[in-house]
Amino acid sequence: MTKNNKIVFLADLIEQRLRKESEISYFEKQLKEIEDKLFFLRKEQELTVTIIDILEQEKIIDFEYGKAKLLDKE
């Protein structure tokens, strides 16, 4: 192997490393965005489940004068 071949090979490896670092950075950013979306979707799901539970139990929350009262449906 000549000295020129070693230089080209080293340059290729450095270029490959930079591409991989860029790709990793891109996918880490995408993962962060997906994790953020999942967080809010889970919170919305929890809220929906809570609302369904309240409706299934046939109870209504009445906010009167700043005090919450739990009333059973007649």
Write the pLDDT tens digit of every residue in 8-65: 788 899 999 999 999 999 999 999 999 999 999 999 999 999 988 888 887 666 666 5
Q: Are 73 and 58 in contact (CB under 8 A)?
A: yes
C-alpha 39: how far from its chain's center? 5
The number of residues making up the chain comes to 74
- Domain that residue 31 falls in: 3-72
State the total domains in the chain: 1
User: For the whole model, what pTM was predicted?
Assistant: 0.58
